[in-house]
């Protein structure tokens, strides 16, 4: 079973995403901020990470940079999920190595398609 780590500071959104991912057949775990997310990624080695960009402690950009500094987590695909839809933010996310950048509000179908693409 593929494991997905959801790093999202909005508790309701994090919980909803975990529920949907589990319904779709994935093992899903959650982290409430970027720092906790990096630690959980190192501990659980997920197959994919869905990460909010704007969060306390470490933002999504800092998360992906920290993941890329560790050989165990460097190759884990990261899908950014963000209300920030300005061109500069999207370009920065992709330049840092994000597998995808999904804008909030997002369609569940679109997000699950991105997840499926990177977990095949």
Query: Which CATH number goes with the domain that contains 61?
Result: 3.40.50.2300
Question: Averaged over 89-111, what is the pLDDT?
Answer: 94
Quote the pTM value.
0.97
Q: Is residue 120 part of a domain?
A: no
φ, ψ of residue 2 to 5 degrees: the values are -75, 140
- Inter-CA distances, 95 with 6, 13, 106, Å: 21, 26, 21
Given a cut of 90, is residue 45 above it in pLDDT? yes
- Average of per-residue pLDDT across 54-61: 95
Mean pLDDT computed over 53-66: 96
Task: Look at the chain and report how many structural domains it folds into.
Answer: 1
Tell me if 62 is assigned to some domain: yes
Confidence band of 84 (pLDDT split at 50, 70, 90): confident
For residue 65, what are the domain limits? 3-108
- Asked if residue 12 is part of any domain, the answer here is yes
What is each CA distance from 77 to 11, 12, 45, 118, in whole angstroms?
A: 22, 23, 11, 7
Residue-wise pLDDT for 69-82, tens only, equals: 999 999 999 999 99
């Amino acid at each position: 079973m593929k494991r997905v780590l959801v790093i999202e500071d909005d508790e309701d959104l994090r919980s909803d995403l975990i529920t949907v991912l589990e319904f779709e057949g994935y093992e899903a775990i959650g982290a409430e901020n970027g720092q906790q997310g990096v630690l959980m990624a190192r501990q659980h080695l997920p197959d994919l990470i869905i990460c909010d960009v704007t969060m306390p402690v470490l933002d999504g950009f800092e998360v992906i940079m920290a993941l890329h500094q560790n050989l165990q987590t460097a190759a884990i695909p990261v899908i950014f999920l963000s209300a920030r839809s300005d061109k500069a933010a999207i370009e920065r996310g992709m330049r840092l190595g994000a597998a995808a950048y999904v804008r909030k509000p997002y369609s569940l179908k679109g997000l699950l398609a991105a997840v499926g693409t990177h977990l095949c």
